[in-house]
Structure 1
């Protein structure tokens, strides 16, 4: 399979699947799981890291235990959608720590955000002080998540 100029064979794909599920697995255990020895497995991992296929490793935090259990999805409509306005919005939204994800959307609105806060009062503050203050924001609509049925971490 080719992805962005990187050739991925069956072993590479197996490495990626295992690492996506268990990022802290040892090289020996990973090698055993994919059916290679340790040295070729480590060489493949290094190649995948250098090619940017593996962008990094991180800890997955429990949002309930870290006090960020409240999730809201926010539709944002901009007052100006020329390139300079989009770039200004993009730069500014990256600086809002409560915005977990932000996607430009082809729809009746311009962006869809996933926002994590402690509770509804905290969300209201973030909406008023941060999101509404972003460049060119004309309108927002909020949808509060009641339960995460499936969430890839």
Structure 2
């Protein structure tokens, strides 16, 4: 773990809001030269703190109006390896995230679909046919608020 100063934290907060900003613009914002800002960003990347930059797509404008969180409990943990389930579930394009969790369920999935009928198709034909799937609980996302900042 590296020590972060106030400027590092401000860089992280600013990049988490808009990762397209270049080192020159960031440097002007924080009173640093472009090379000094670039070195800080490079140090954060090398340390693994800045793992990647990605786009934030508007799923609804792309035609995906439903997000459902699924709790999945594996029925036969001994017969089906976790790796087999993970490999199969991550091959489903509608599954945005698959998290191995501790608690009532073994996995928490974030599934995006065009509508409820499309979600039902994905659930019946893809998710329920995965190796080892037992109980499944669905929670439909009604609204989502994003927390400001990287942490």
Where do 5+ consecutive residues of structure 1 fail to align?
A: none
1:29 corresponding residue in structure 2: 25
- What is the rounded CA distance, in whole Å, between the counterparts of 1:123 and 1:131 in structure 2? 10
Give the structure-1-normalised TM-score.
Answer: 0.87
2:97 corresponding residue in structure 1: 101
Give the structure-2-normalised TM-score.
Answer: 0.88
Tell me: CA distance 1:135–1:34, structure 2 relative to 1, closer, same or farther (3 Å): farther
- What is the rounded CA distance, in whole Å, between the counterparts of 2:101 and 2:134 in structure 1? 16
Where do 5+ consecutive residues of structure 2 fail to align?
A: none
RMSD: 2.0
Q: Check if 1:45 corresponds to 2:44.
A: no
Deviation at 1:82, TM superposition (A): 4.4
1:113 corresponding residue in structure 2: 109
1:13 corresponding residue in structure 2: 9
- What is the rounded CA distance, in whole Å, between the counterparts of 1:34 and 1:99 in structure 2? 39
Deviation at 1:41, TM superposition (A): 0.3
Q: Check if 1:151 corresponds to 2:127.
A: no
- SS, match of residue 116 in structure 1: strand
1:136 corresponding residue in structure 2: 132
Query: Which deviates the most, 125-134 or 99-108?
Result: 99-108
Query: Which deviates the most, 77-86 or 118-127?
Result: 77-86
Deviation at 1:10, TM superposition (A): 2.0
How many equivalent pairs are there? 148
- What is the rounded CA distance, in whole Å, between the counterparts of 1:27 and 1:41 in structure 2? 6
2:64 corresponds, among 65, 68, 81, to 68
Higher normalized contact order (CA 8 Å, seq sep 6+, divided by chain length): 2
Deviation at 1:152, TM superposition (A): 5.5
- What is the rounded CA distance, in whole Å, between the counterparts of 1:18 and 1:132 in structure 2? 41
